[in-house]
Structure 1
């Protein structure tokens, strides 16, 4: 039904400093299936939205796989089911008008050993999962609905007054922080530190007591090869929506991933320790990060030592999300060789979001991004932040946040790194801030190139603890021009053909005694009152204007 495809062999020649590097993204192999068809109705499935069809649908999947594979067909209708396990050589095909609705009855989801946010943990079984499967697909024009509202907590600030009143009246628990939770079991888990993590002091009774808190991801594919997701709508996930884990040769094409904007941990797709991936022509409208690259967390991720690498993302659209294209924060195994092009972000909190923190370790490098279009970004259009604190990127109304304490630590295996990243042809109509780069005193954000870009934003560019940064043919039209560019302890930073708002107050503010070797060239200075201001140990001698 689907032919193997060599589909993409791309050679990128990228200049970083004076070195020339050649990158080859390998083929992404798609699955192939026999023509045999297995309708779930043959196994007793009934589309009334009431009867539980778990056994019937699973029987169709099992027989299809055991007899050499083919297509398990879900016809039009409302098919209520418990969790299903996809098997090798099976294409689960949802016809137009078909909705695979996963039950809100949590007793149908047994506790299983799984993985959550980069750690091995106990979780409820995912509605859809596969492990060590080869040659699998979920295709068609139907809907897969995880019934996530039965699982998720909701913050009061994210609902209208009438919505909040209705939610509270439905049952559940409200804590002192105005967070609604679906049950006492969830509330108990929420007050414990990582209750799902394995430890000798936890037994089956303990995990059962916090079962509701251990929300599953909608689709988890663990150690699978040759995977196709095409055409289907994945929506209303209890936690992350699509989670390929330690898998390879993954194609995601023409899917729609949809979660409520307020959905806690409602990520779109999280590639974790995966390789050879294509995501194209898909739409994400979710409650957390949309297109997210991960590779395990802290010591667990470094021990796994499986980077996410050789990934192609193109032609995707992101609406509500915490980040459009995102790296981290669980990136301890590394993220390498990712190519992103021709994507549109509308209303995403952050456009291009790179996040990590001390303790992660891991190297993120050789990320190539071009032709990205953004509109109405509430936060930063481009962000690199090594002080990630695990909170929503845009503060809620009235929320106060303190800046992190700046300290220098020794560099060791726990020190994360962002380096060698090229961003070009980025156009932003509306953002709070154009660019924000924040490294650590002991580990700068290094070798970032931004070229051929136009930012319309309230604030301009802020750079902290970064080196080897290049801006070429970048225009920043910001409301706040005092300053347009703010550099704190930045080194070796160049602006070539830099444009900014007319009648700007201060073009550049320098701070910190480690600021040095800042240069502007091919730039007009007649439209600014002050070219440079130096404070807190920096001097004007650190910058040159040509």
Structure 2
């Protein structure tokens, strides 16, 4: 099994080497001090023949009761066979099943137009979908594109999932999946489950733009690009009963000026889980998140991981407001058995408030489900390095930084935290790190020591209190039978 995706590359270890040609970034976040923010991407609407189709002319009613699936899909298909162009959806409520977009197509949702997801699960085709880092059987998304280029969805309209399709997964017979509350229950590690439809899903696409629309998801992930390149989400309002945008093994991604109101991670960066993701080895890389506002009711504003088996690198987050998180505003996570790397993460100019557990958590010991086929041995411990957080303003966070869940066999190499102001109840908990640089941390309101450490070296650590060693399990044993790509 092979995938028509970019080849795995050796990570560039010298500052800026080989990065000058990347279209979205003047400089990527590399070790610590001199950082140059990337230039914002420009809109890339498709070029080509000027086919202009109105879905009303192909029979769509937009009355909110009659299914318009056939008329809408015919408009998208007709646009494609004539070489591409624009499909316009005027004001109205268009009840529809799943729709597939093709190359060189702009779907324009005019002000007052709403695409309403059908409540009938039969209106979503069964296919292979990636979920929780593995390819499994599942229902295709409400809006999707596959192996397409120059796909645009824009306008002042709405894309709304059906609230009648509940849950993220089903049993193999289609019945609702019931989570076990028993200790040690495998739940999501099962292989006989079926994933419910995402709101939007793009697979193996290039030059994708989603701009200005308003989305309303149900309790499945909202927007999920997988194996995509040159992706922009600009000025999108994302409301979701689960994750907002899950960027999954994509590169050259810009998320700019978006507003999130979610019940799980507002943004999650992923790259596969276990030996499957590690063997495919497609990283999530070169991601810029800027000028966004985040409010989340259950998890984090930005989550990196825990599905990281293809690697995650070169992430820049800047000029964002984290206005609510049930856990931490920023949560970077993985575990032994994932392998690969999480490196070159830079965050600058963040405003953080109403984060129930704290500003930042790093957890590389026990986050997420263990895969049925984990990456064994020392290779299974993720490599983590080059994290920079500057110009952070926090308001009443319980803990400023929780970063003591790091494996001693692969300590974090390179952590810079500079110019942090505001109020917190506790300071920084750091363990198993080297090349740490702390400066201008001017928070108030905390009790106990500002900095507590275990096996940490660097600068700005004077006066740090001792911290208990983290609990670490043994290495994962190699399987008796080697993993074969494609097996369940």
> How does the TM-score come out when normalised to structure 1?
0.74
* 8 Å CA contact 2:134, 2:272 repeated in 1: yes
Instruction: Report the Cα offset of residue 445 of structure 1.
Output: 2.4
Q: How does 1:151-170 map to 2 (within 5 A)?
A: 151-152=166-167
Other-structure match for 1:228: 209
1:177-192 pair list within 5 angstroms: 185-187=175-177
CA 1:13–1:466: 2 relative to 1, 3 Å: closer
Conservation of the 8 A alpha-carbon contact between 1:471 and 1:494: yes
Runs of 4+ that moved beyond 4 A: 6-9, 12-17, 20-29, 188-198
- Residues of 1 paired with 2:188 and 2:24: CA distance? 43
SS at 1:237 equivalent: coil
Offset, 1:12: 5.3
Residue in 2 that maps onto 1:309:
285
Other-structure match for 1:158: none
Higher CA-based Rg: 1
Contact 2:28 2:314 in 1 (8 A): no
Matched, 1:329 2:313: no
Quick one: higher RCO (CA 8 Å, sep 6+), 1 or 2? 2
Q: Aligned-pair distance for 1:357?
A: 1.0
Equivalent residue, structure 1, for 2:10: none
Deviation of 1:196 after TM superposition, in Å, equals 8.9
Match of 1:414 among 352, 356, 380: 380
Structure-1 separation of matches of 2:40 and 2:353: 32
Matches within 5 A, 1:188-227: 193=186, 214-227=195-208
Aligned-pair distance for 1:478? 3.5
Distance 1:297 1:140, change over 3 A: same
- In the aligned structure 2, how far is the partner of 1:67 from the partner of 1:13? 43
Following TM superposition, by how much is the alpha carbon of 1:193 offset from its aligned partner in structure 2, in angstroms? 4.6
User: Superposition pairs for residues 93-492 of structure 1, below 5 Å?
Assistant: 93-148=108-163, 150-152=165-167, 185-187=175-177, 193=186, 214-259=195-240, 263=241, 266-321=242-297, 322-349=299-326, 350-390=328-368, 412-437=378-403, 438-479=405-446, 481-487=447-453, 489-492=454-457
Change (3 A) 1:380 1:417: farther
Q: Per the alignment, in what secondary structure is the counterpart of residue 187 of structure 1?
A: coil
Counterpart contact for 1:72–1:92, Cα < 8 Å: yes
Q: Secondary structure of 1:301's partner? A: helix
Where does the alignment leave 5 or more consecutive residues of structure 1 unmatched?
1-5, 155-172, 174-180, 199-206, 392-408, 499-506, 515-546
Counterpart of 2:460 (choices 495, 498, 502) is 495
Query: 1:83 maps to what in 2?
Result: 98
Change beyond 3 A, Cα 1:224–1:45: same
Give the superposition deviation at 1:331: 1.1
Aligned residues: 436
CA distance in 2, matches of 1:248, 1:42: 33
Q: 1:54 and 1:35, CA in 2 relative to 1: closer, same or farther beyond 3 A?
A: same
How far apart are the structure 2 equivalents of 1:151 and 1:351? 27
Residues 129 and 219 in structure 1, CA contact (< 8 A), matched pair in contact too? yes
* Aligned-residue CA RMSD (Å): 3.1
Shift of 1:23: 9.7
User: How many Å separate the matches in 1 of 2:189 and 2:63?
Assistant: 35
- Per the normalisation by structure 2, the TM-score is 0.82
CA distance in 2, matches of 1:13, 1:54: 44
Tell me by how many angstroms 1:117 deviates: 1.3
Q: Residues of 2 paired with 1:441 and 1:118: CA distance?
A: 26
Q: Residue 54 of structure 2 aligns with which residue?
A: 39
